[in-house]
Structure 1
């Protein structure tokens, strides 16, 4: 203020002071006028520039404005006093009476670190519509960061912005834009290899006539329908592996593993064994064993408990399943995630199908009239006809899993835990057959040994036999 008064004083002095000098001293009048004018000009020029550092942005607050800001506005656009939309870049900046009319504040350049995005809140602009909680998206973020354009032609909206800033350095008006750059909530979305990201959008960027729910095939049964990209809802196209700068207030991200999954059903039962041994008298002796088989931590669930011929038989099995990238949105919309698919759909379905297949009748051959004969499923079929049972379970499981968006690649049975009483007769028979075979081989060996001994004795008596023949 004092500098401005001095400039005005020197300017007035340059006009009026020479009048008090006698006319005969014309050279003095001229010299005084020039000196005072140069002094006023020098002081005005000295207050009309500022040098902004390379890593700073110059912000202006007009002190002496033509009018006050309208109610509800933060940034001046038409010469009002207060924060201005204009900013000053690095280096030398000239503006008449800059340091007198304005308060110049140098603020650091906004820097977004790698792996994060900048979330922006605008302090001024048009109000959000009643159905909005984030401002409209901008196709060109540089135009958005121009405060003058944002508040005029761009029709920018006040409040949190949908458009975010990618890593880099930005010279923006910090009186208008407040930028948040730190925190786990502002991390970039990273989709690793072997995964896809399914997006649930809380905002709609496309017109309503384009954002119609997709009801084709399986998606027609969804209570939460799929929608095209940039529409409100679950997008029908997932994001492939990569890094994305998504506004997490607008988009919820669900990572879906698209690699082949191994779901094991094992443990949770007691395994009994009856061991057969031979004593010194050649008699068969039996000893019983019990072993508790626990369910591994990484298993999907316990072994499937079957009931065949009245016997309860635990059956271990392994399933190879996969959610393809194309099916990932359907899985998220229908169930939620892969763990929910396993727990709520696949596991109950597997148990039901395996029990139905192993407990049903089995076609064995054709009768004389060309019809299929049926036989009741036997306990020993679980080990004797394992490939056929695995294929039957696979054929029944594939369409059921497809209803949940899961592709079943393989079904493999483990060793069935058959009650040892059912295997005892077969084991004793096998052991008896082995004993018979062993006895026969031992008998053959004894006979061969006798023949060998006779031949050896005959050979030893050969000289005596020759001598006896000569004497005769």
Structure 2
């Protein structure tokens, strides 16, 4: 029970301020003593003071209930969990992106697609007072800083790529954007977590982008058909190989037998070749031996004949020298008679024919021999008479 002078003051019931889990409360006090700046010399966006002083308190309020005089100050709720900012019409990831829309790009080939994207942001609870001191609240941070910065970044990137490249290199663009924007967000006391880029879409009434997309789809369908045909060909080849394998397995016994026969014939052929080679070598050796034998025999016979000839020549020469004069003719006749007798003996020709034919022209070996002997005798008698003549004066 309070006794209040109604002319001096009034009483108003105010509920306690609740700071939910996932948020911190940054206190902006309108009253209190003047405090010293605790933000540091590098922070040039305002002063942070101790709790109970006039200004933005350096230490935020943690989740809980607080009996706070809303006439003496205000509490700005700052999320400490990850929150999503969506640049999509009609969609919202948090209460801070209600006014965000798709980013209109201009590509290198003069297409103007609209790029939807989402950015995941985190605010360190210890840096929440700096964010409030610098931007007033998170909604103003998003609309006045993050939206222009993100839009400008993606517009600059899109001018270096064609529309097809922009679609095909979405993953690369998302990776590069994550690395670049992380540094930019740190400059605003924010922690950048991730950027998610959607598929560019045409503006209302624009059919050129749809034509490009249709061409890409047709191209992809053609590639898939080529791949399908290639896979079918591979499947057909595999099926043929399977059939061949099954047929080969069914004929394995015959195949094994034929292979064994082939091996046997090859071995037999090799053996025959070896035998033929050995036979050739044997024949060649025998031929060389026979040739050597014949050469040696011929050489011996030639030597014998030469020796006999030389001996006969020497004997004849000696006889000729010994029988020069009167005995030469006798010796000649004797030699001729001897040779004729040997000839008659060898040829077995009878001296007197068994059948005598009449007539004076009969000639036989015996008569020939007698004629020859008569001629020799006549020559011998003439020679004797010649020597017996006495020369006269």
If the length of structure 1 is used for normalisation, what is the TM-score? Answer: 0.43
Relative to structure 1, the CA distance from residue 439 to residue 321 in structure 2 (aligned partners, 3 Å threshold; closer, same or farther) is closer
1:213 Cα offset (Å): 2.5
Find the residue that maps to 1:307 and give its secondary structure. Answer: coil
- Say whether residues 1:228 and 2:50 are aligned partners: yes
Q: Which residue of 1 aligns with 2:121?
A: 321
**Where do residues 188-203 of structure 1 align in structure 2 (5 Å cutoff)?**
188-203=16-31
Give the counterpart of 1:244 among 66, 88, 95.
66
Distance 1:257 1:191 in 2: 10
Q: Which residue of 2 aligns with 1:187?
A: 15
Deviation per CA, 1:416-446: give whole Å up to 9, x if none: 2372333444433333344456667499879
- Say whether residues 1:430 and 2:225 are aligned partners: no
Distance 2:36 2:120 in 1: 35
Deviation per CA, 1:329-352: give whole Å up to 9, x if none: 122222221111111111111101
Rg larger for: 2
Q: Which residue of 2 aligns with 1:307?
A: 106
Q: Do the aligned residues in 2 keep the contact of 1:358 with 1:389 (CA within 8 Å)?
A: no
Q: Which residue of 1 aligns with 2:139?
A: 339
Give the counterpart of 2:188 among 389, 404, 415.
404
Give the counterpart of 1:261 among 71, 83, 91.
83
The structure that is helix-richer by fraction is 2
Q: Do the aligned residues in 1 keep the contact of 2:45 with 2:133 (CA within 8 Å)?
A: no
- Say whether residues 1:219 and 2:43 are aligned partners: yes
Find the residue that maps to 2:75 and give its secondary structure. Answer: strand
Distance 2:27 2:229 in 1: 74
296-305 vs 248-257, which deviates more?
Answer: 296-305
Find the residue that maps to 1:408 and give its secondary structure. Answer: strand
Relative to structure 1, the CA distance from residue 307 to residue 203 in structure 2 (aligned partners, 3 Å threshold; closer, same or farther) is same
If the length of structure 2 is used for normalisation, what is the TM-score? Answer: 0.51
Relative to structure 1, the CA distance from residue 246 to residue 434 in structure 2 (aligned partners, 3 Å threshold; closer, same or farther) is closer
Q: Do the aligned residues in 2 keep the contact of 1:202 with 1:232 (CA within 8 Å)?
A: yes
Distance 1:255 1:443 in 2: 64
Deviation per CA, 1:242-277: give whole Å up to 9, x if none: 12222333222222222211111124xxxxxxxxxx
Find the residue that maps to 1:326 and give its secondary structure. Answer: helix
Give 5+ residue unaligned stretches, structure 2: 203-208, 244-393
1:226 Cα offset (Å): 1.9
Deviation per CA, 1:116-169: give whole Å up to 9, x if none: xxxx9789xxxxxxxxxxxxxxxxxxxxxxxxxxxxxxxxxxx77xxxxxxxxx
Find the residue that maps to 1:221 and give its secondary structure. Answer: coil
Q: Do the aligned residues in 2 keep the contact of 1:219 with 1:226 (CA within 8 Å)?
A: no
Find the residue that maps to 1:353 and give its secondary structure. Answer: helix
Deviation per CA, 1:262-309: give whole Å up to 9, x if none: 111124xxxxxxxxxxxxxxxxxxxxxxxxxxx336555221111112
Give the counterpart of 2:163 among 379, 388, 397.
379
Distance 2:4 2:23 in 1: 32
Relative to structure 1, the CA distance from residue 202 to residue 266 in structure 2 (aligned partners, 3 Å threshold; closer, same or farther) is closer
Number of residue pairs the alignment of both structures matches:
233
CA RMSD of aligned residues (A): 3.6
Relative to structure 1, the CA distance from residue 443 to residue 425 in structure 2 (aligned partners, 3 Å threshold; closer, same or farther) is same
Q: Which residue of 2 aligns with 1:271?
A: none
Give the counterpart of 1:358 among 158, 179, 182.
158
